[in-house]
Amino acid sequence: MNESVAVVLREVAPSDLDAFFAHQLDPEANRLAAFVGENPRDRVVFDARWARILASPRNINRTIVAGGTVVGHVACFPQNGELEVTYWLGREFWGRGLATQALQAMLRLVPARPIHARCATDNVGSLRVLQKCGFMIVGKDRGFAHGRGMETEEFILRLDAAPVKA
């Protein structure tokens, strides 16, 4: 895949779930993401979770496509009274600027502010993506991370300003 390919966000199609599931099977991606489901290899649990996610009218979910390939997903959803954003790209697509492009596109799609995000404190790549998109660290939290099998510290980030029109 070309390093300068642009991403497109589109509605999640049922066929995208196969790619999402394959991405989450990567042990290194789970370790880095840290706060993942208890058993990422369980397809029944995965499908049930995605059915709940897609059924909620309050969630905005998009498939990230680059060069005609499903590379991941991005979502914005209410969490504890606040709006939160999350994303996941298959590891083979890391380091190409695709996550940054996808998050920027989601932030244009969802103009409400503030928006929060979280990432493990040692997930330098994800932290960089969030900061490139204007998120600022506003706190830390600690919790059990299934992707690591241990307590893990995470940054809490917030974006206050509306996105710049691109």
What lies within 8 Å, CB to CB, of 131 at 6+ separation is: 157
Beta strand segments in 1-147, E: 7-11, 60-66, 69-79, 82-89, 115-120, 136-145
Task: Give the separation between CA 131 and CA 129, rounded to whole angstroms.
Answer: 6
Decide if pLDDT at 163 tops 60.
no
Min mean pLDDT across 3-12, 44-53, 55-64 is at: 3-12
Residue 73 counted as domain residue:
yes
Decide if pLDDT at 2 tops 50.
no
Which among 2-6, 36-40, 52-56 has the top mean pLDDT? 52-56
Say which residue, 67 or 164, is predicted with more confidence.
67
Pairing of strands 7-11, 136-145: unpaired
**Quick check: 45 and 39 in contact, CB under 8 A?**
yes
Decide if pLDDT at 164 tops 70.
no
Residue 2 counted as domain residue:
no
Residue 86 counted as domain residue:
yes
pLDDT tens digits, one per residue of 97-114: 999 999 999 999 999 999
**Which residue matches tokens 């995965």?**
46
pLDDT at 162 (0 to 100)? 62
CATH number (domain holding residue 100): 3.40.630.30
pLDDT at 125 (0 to 100)? 95
Decide if pLDDT at 81 tops 60.
yes
Name the band, by pLDDT with cuts 50, 70 and 90, for residue 147. confident
pLDDT at 63 (0 to 100)? 98
pLDDT at 3 (0 to 100)? 58
Residue 112 counted as domain residue:
yes
User: pTM for the full model?
Assistant: 0.92
Name the band, by pLDDT with cuts 50, 70 and 90, for residue 15. very high
Pairing of strands 115-120, 136-145: unpaired
Q: With 0-12 CB in 10 A as exposed, 13-18 as middle and 19+ as buried, what is 107?
A: buried
Q: What is the mean pLDDT of residues 119-142?
A: 97
Q: What is the mean pLDDT of residues 29-49?
A: 88
Domain count, the chain: 1
Task: Give the separation between CA 30 and CA 104, rounded to whole angstroms.
Answer: 23
Q: Which domain holds residue 92?
A: 7-159
Residue 38 counted as domain residue:
yes
